[in-house]
Structure 1
Amino acid sequence: MDFARRLYQRFSSLVHELAKFGSIGAVAFLLDTGLLNLFNVVFGFGPLTSKVIATTISTTFAYAGNRFWTFRHREQSGLRREYFLFFLLNGIALLFGMLTIGFATYTLNLHDALSFNIANIVGVGLGTLFRYWSYKKWVFLEATDPIPVELPEGGVKQDR
């Protein structure tokens, strides 16, 4: 039991961070998949155009969730810089989805909704692995100074 407690203490911040990242990712995935099917099936935009539009919208949601919840304890290096890098890295991750959907649709000639959604899930899974690693490495940087959890004992001093 003591071993389990030490193991938890050692990895608790990583476990909590992964849980938050996964929660935001799950909601973004549902948003992406719903919009993907809406644009492809209902509006007939085509599989790759639908993927780009759906991913752009779900990525905006994911940025806000990850910046202000998952990685809020990390140093903030500027909204413009983070947003640019976030979208650049999501653009790279989008390639995984585009390749798997394109392969299923145009190479395997599978045009049914089930094959389309399976290809999307495979692409999202591969992209998620890349995104988690790249966000920690380049977007949401490790804090150089500990971020205070609460105000100091005496409150905030005012200069007179």
Structure 2
Amino acid sequence: MPSPTQRVLARVPARMRPFLVKHRTPVKFLLVGSTCFVLTMMVNLSLKLTVLEHKPVVALTVATVVATVVSYVLNRQWSFRANGRQREAVLFLLVSAVAILVNDVPLIVSRYLLDLREPDVSAFTQEAADFVSGLLVGTLVAMVFRYWAMRRWVFVPVADPEPVAEGRPEPVSRA
């Protein structure tokens, strides 16, 4: 029975398969990250519209922590396929704590250094600035940091757990 990854690859155009197979870890990391980005947006917006209305940095931090927990499970089980080690969990928590701070910095700069908040700007401008700085810029910078740090210290690459199966294209070699 083919794995879920093999079933998805079977639906991808044949000329794209070698690229996706060759770069499967970054592709999986981006899919997990995209899922967690949507989760972060939903939690952040929910908190900003309810209990943390006047605390946007706290709302973003809580949303990022929730998404980080989901990210750990998905990256460990799917993207990096790491074997269970206590050291791995501790390193993941340390890298994630730094990444959460990295994610918050653009929002802090936007809100408190550039004064892009009410009453200095309109409510719409404030929310647009929060979205761009906190969710887009902050997430992008934190994502690059997380990928590098996770690859370097947390989920150290192991031998390929998915050998090339029948019907699955061989990675393109550089000859």
Identity rate, percent: 26
Counterpart of 1:71 (choices 71, 80, 86) is 80
Q: Which residue of 1 aligns with 2:96?
A: 90
Counterpart of 2:64 (choices 48, 55, 64) is 55
Q: Which residue of 2 aligns with 1:130?
A: 145
Deviations 1:120-156 (A, max 9, x none): 110110011011011111111122x66585xxxxxxx
Number of aligned positions between the proteins: 138
CA distance in 1, matches of 2:46, 2:153: 33
Post-superposition, which runs of at least 4 consecutive aligned residues in structure 1 deviate over 6 A?
none
Q: TM-score, normalised by structure 2?
A: 0.71
**Which structure is richer in relative contact order (CA contacts within 8 A, separation 6 or more)?**
2
> How far 1:107 sits from its partner (Å)?
1.1
Given the alignment of the two structures, is residue 141 of structure 1 paired with residue 150 of structure 2, yes or no? Answer: no
> How far 1:41 sits from its partner (Å)?
2.7
CA distance in 1, matches of 2:54, 2:39: 17
CA distance in 1, matches of 2:74, 2:31: 9
Gaps of 5+ in 2: 1-16, 118-125, 164-175
Distance 1:63 1:108, change over 3 A: same
SS at match of 1:119: helix
Deviations 1:82-121 (A, max 9, x none): 2221121111111222110111011111122111010111
SS at match of 1:56: helix
Which one has a larger percent helix, Structure 1 or Structure 2? Answer: 1
Distance 1:14 1:127, change over 3 A: farther
